Amino acid sequence: MSKPQVLVTMKHISEIAINLLRERFDVKICDSMLATRAEILKEIPGKFAIYCSPLTKIDEELIKTAGPSLKVVATFSVGYDHVDLTALKKYGIRFGNTPDVLTETVAETAVGLLISTTRRFSEATHALKTGGWKNVTPDWMCGRGIRNSVVGILGCGNIGTSIAKKLKTFEISQLLYTSRTEKPAVKALGGKLVNVDELVEQSDFIIISIALTEDTKFIINKERIAKMKSHAVLVNIGRGGLIDQDALIEALQENRIGGAGLDVMTPEPLPLDSPLIKMNNVVLLPHIGSATIETRREMAIIVAKNIIAVLDNSAMPYEVLL
């Protein structure tokens, strides 16, 4: 009897994960490094599962093209704004993601981005590599320190809480956070629960660590950017759609805020003609928040196990209940 089929939309997935899948499935790995929409629509008919990247849009068209064989979608990410959950529910398809294993890694990325943005690491590296390190003066490449500053974390889930713990050791003067409910772990660190407007107005450093949903889209909009301190540094490790990027670009161009460190942006990959690319007060990373060898291996295995669980009609390691 032939095995059920899985479509994998990315190359270079850990062999351990692919082998786990191969024990139970026929595995089709798309030909492109990251499959195009056309490739996915061509390959998806008859598949039992789709093993997808956060750049793979999962919508009703794709589900219908797959047909009734499709039983599970498993994403190689914690975030799932690329997935139409209503459509999955309508067709009775189960859905899994990869939280927890990436919490510390993404929090490390946030702290790294914060330091490299406020201390101007990219700009300084560029100056060094292009002959700008000459007669330096004491104010050359100076930024603001994190010690004694007010740090605001927008969205204090697991990743936000981990960022808070890490930054506490920097001897900050105040920790602010937003959340639907008070977080005992963050309160224990001295964190103060505030609303979004208070957070943007009072923070020297703002870190966005919130999921992108209909409610949080453009949570950092033109009005809120206007309320930020003139030296405020904004870090985003959530999703590009959380920020009105045009308004951010305008504020950065006019030096109305101190800078931005972005691991996520709109669109991804960012076109080379984006004004963000040329800005000195911006540090950009190509969405590598969870990119450590260990974390990516663990994520790959969880995605495979999420799919296998559906074949076995058992509990997924990480299921998003629809």
Give the amino acid at 151: V
Which of 57-65, 72-80, 110-118, 310-318 is the region at the interface with ligand DGY (rule: CB under 6 A)? Answer: 72-80
Interatomic CA distance for residues 71 and 91, integer angstroms: 9
Q: E strand or H helix at 51, and its extent?
A: strand 49-52
- Over the range 225-236, which residues count as b (16 or more CB within 10 Å of their CB) and which as e? beebbeebbbbb
Which of 36-44, 77-85, 112-120, 266-274 is the region at the interface with ligand DGY (rule: CB under 6 A)? Answer: 77-85
Q: How many helices (H) and strands (E) does the chain have?
A: 12, 12
Q: Within 106-125, which residues bind ligand DGY (CB under 6 A)?
A: 106
Interatomic CA distance for residues 20 and 300, integer angstroms: 10
> How many CA atoms are closer than 13 Å to the CA of 127, on its beta-carbon side?
13
Which lies closer to ligand DGY via its Cβ, residue 87 or residue 102? 102
Asked if residue 157 binds ligand DGY (CB under 6 A), the reply is no
Asked if residue 78 binds ligand DGY (CB under 6 A), the reply is yes
Give the amino acid at 306: N
**Minimum separation from the CB atom of position 74 to ligand DGY (A):** 13
Compute how many residues bind ligand DGY; rule: CB under 6 A: 8
Which of 18-26, 75-83, 144-152, 180-188 is the region at the interface with ligand DGY (rule: CB under 6 A)? Answer: 75-83
Asked if residue 178 binds ligand DGY (CB under 6 A), the reply is no
Is the separation of the CB atoms in 81 and 213 below 8 Å? Answer: yes
Interatomic CA distance for residues 52 and 273, integer angstroms: 28
| Residue showing the smallest CB distance to ligand DGY in the complex | 289
Given 34, 59, 65, 79, the residue binding ligand DGY (CB under 6 A) = 79
**Minimum separation from the CB atom of position 13 to ligand DGY (A):** 14
Is the separation of the CB atoms in 153 and 164 below 8 Å? Answer: yes
**What track of x and - describes contact with ligand DGY for positions 270 through 289 (by CB under 6 A)?**
-------------------x
Tell me which DSSP letter residue 135 carries.
Answer: S
Interatomic CA distance for residues 28 and 6, integer angstroms: 6
Give the amino acid at 298: E
**Minimum separation from the CB atom of position 311 to ligand DGY (A):** 24
**Minimum separation from the CB atom of position 298 to ligand DGY (A):** 12
Tell me the two tokens of residue 33: 């490094």
Catalytic-labelled residue, pool 12, 126, 231, 287? 287
Interatomic CA distance for residues 213 and 43, integer angstroms: 29
Tell me whether residue 287 is one of the annotated catalytic residues.
yes
Asked if residue 77 binds ligand DGY (CB under 6 A), the reply is yes
**Minimum separation from the CB atom of position 102 to ligand DGY (A):** 6
Interatomic CA distance for residues 96 and 61, integer angstroms: 20
Asked if residue 155 binds ligand DGY (CB under 6 A), the reply is no
Q: Within 287-306, which residues bind ligand DGY (CB under 6 A)?
A: 289-290
Residues near ligand DGY (CB under 6 A):
54, 77-79, 102, 106, 289-290
Catalytic residues: 287
